[in-house]
Amino acid sequence: MKKYIFSILLTFIFSYSYSQVYCSYSGGGCSNGLTNPTPYASNVVKSVCNKLGIQYIETYAGNVGNACASNFQGRPIITYNTQFMNHLASKNQWAPISVLAHEVGHHINSDMSWSGQFKHSWTKELQADYVSGYVLYKMGASLENAKSAFYIMFSWMGSSSHPDTPRRIDALTQGYNRAANGF
């Protein structure tokens, strides 16, 4: 009986680890129409990963609403919408960096893992915002520039999956200040 239960558990964990679990600003899947990233996006993710001391996370342009983190074919990936990132960059150079750092944050916080499913979606988002703030300080952004993506992208109201903007700005600010204090 123990072998039977253990086999079912292993099958569940294995199948879950290869399923597509994602975080997306706009909802929907993250593996639609994957193409090579722009050199800029790839370099941003490399810089973010370097600042955090982690291995590069494969990054793709794709048919997504904006940006998302997921596991695809057993690998962590980040997918972004090129037009969306260009729009952010036209408003403030730090905004797309903030978004990509946020998506990396989902991966380092294990939000895409089996155990990540037990976290409330607001917790996941706020923790990823914290990571974004931390990284943006390390990359040389001012606090106002670090907050720029929130002012460009979001309404002040939250949703069932994403907290309201003041809470998100607070989480980003906490991460930024943590890095500024030498951690």
**Amino acid 82: pLDDT:** 96
**Amino acid 99: pLDDT:** 95
Cβ distance 2 to 47 under 8 Å?
Answer: no
Burial of 56 (0-12, 13-18, 19+ CB in 10 A): middle
Q: Find all residues with CB under 8 Å of 152, minimum gap 6, and list them.
A: 87, 88, 91, 92, 95
Residue 25 has pLDDT above 70, yes or no: no
**Amino acid 87: pLDDT:** 93
- pLDDT tens-digit map of 87-113: 999 999 999 999 999 999 999 998 888
Average of per-residue pLDDT across 129-143: 97
Cβ distance 58 to 91 under 8 Å?
Answer: no
Q: How many CB atoms lie within 10 A of CB 98?
A: 28
Beta strands 67-72 and 22-24, pairing class: antiparallel
